[in-house]
Each structure stands twice: as C-alpha cells, then as structure tokens.
C-alpha cells in the first residue's frame, strides 16, 4: 500500500473512500457551498475541496462513475483526467452532461473516482526509421 498525503482545502471536504474491498477506485465527492445544475451539453469544473501530495513517479487518474454515466449521462470530460505528482492545488473534476435532462450536483455527491497509477517518464530517441511490424502503418479499423 502506498501513502498519499491529502489536504482539506475546505473544512467540509470529504476524503476519497473505497466503497467495497475490491474497488480499484476511490469515490471522490463534490465540495460545494450550494448545489449546482449541469444542463445537457454543459461542462463544469466541480470543486472537491481537496489537494493531494502524490509521490513522484505516480499520478492520480480521475475517472467517471459508471452509475452517473448510465443513469444520468454525467461523465468526466477528459477521462481519465490526470493529477500530476507536482500539482498541489485544489482538485477540480471536469464533468459534462451528455444526458437529455439537467442534473443537480450537491455537496457530498460522489462525482468521480480516483485511481493511483505508477507512471514512467520517457527518454524520446529520434531515429530515421522504425522497426517493421505485421500491422505497420495500418490505422483505425485495420485489424478488423
């Protein structure tokens, strides 16, 4: 288990929580002074009231909650969103309403899930040609 520091930027902010023992992601909640509404097609940055001290070599991925997606059409715009290890500001979740009805978000509502992931930085090497593969330059749909 890896330890990640967390800071409440607002007293009412709630710490992410695994909802079952087998959950891969922790549910993260909205931290709002008053409810807000996301109209169909609208995007909003929803505050969580939290900041993280993510260890170097890791990121936190912010992912949609499947229940919100199927029931109300709410998803994370940039899924998965990335919180970098050197970011120390308040985490905002970028939500979009892809449904047909406005959706109300209130303080404490579970709006997304977060997953800690190991990441590697890349040392890019410029070459004149690449090794051939069976697929080659075949793009979208080229494998069937």
Q: Is the pLDDT of residue 1 over 80?
A: yes
pTM above 0.85, yes or no: yes
Q: What is the pLDDT of residues 56-91, one digit of tens each?
A: 999 999 999 999 999 999 999 999 999 999 999 999
* Cα 67 from Cα 120, distance rounded (Å): 31
Q: What is the pLDDT of residues 30-48, one digit of tens each?
A: 999 999 999 999 999 999 9
Contact between 58 and 87 (Cβ < 8 Å)? no
Locate the domains of the chain by residue range: 5-118
Superfamily classification of domain 5-118: Deoxyuridine triphosphatase (dUTPase) (2.70.40.10)
Q: Is the pLDDT of residue 142 over 80?
A: no
Round the average pLDDT of the chain to a whole number and report it.
95
- Nearest-5° Cα angle at 17, 94 to 13: 60
């Amino acid at each position: 288990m890896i330890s990640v520091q967390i800071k409440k930027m607002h007293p009412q902010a709630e710490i992410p929580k695994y909802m079952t023992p087998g959950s891969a992601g922790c549910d993260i909640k909205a931290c709002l002074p008053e409810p807000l509404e996301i109209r169909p097609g609208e995007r909003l940055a929803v505050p969580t009231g939290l900041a993280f001290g993510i260890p170097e070599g890791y990121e936190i991925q912010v992912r949609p909650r499947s229940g919100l997606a199927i029931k109300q059409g709410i998803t994370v715009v940039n899924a998965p969103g990335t919180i970098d290890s050197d970011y120390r500001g308040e985490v905002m979740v970028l939500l979009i309403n892809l449904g047909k009805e406005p959706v109300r978000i209130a303080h404490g509502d579970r709006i997304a899930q977060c997953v800690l992931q190991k990441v590697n930085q890349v040392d890019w090497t410029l070459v004149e040609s690449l090794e051939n593969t069976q697929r080659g330059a075949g793009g979208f749909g080229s494998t069937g």
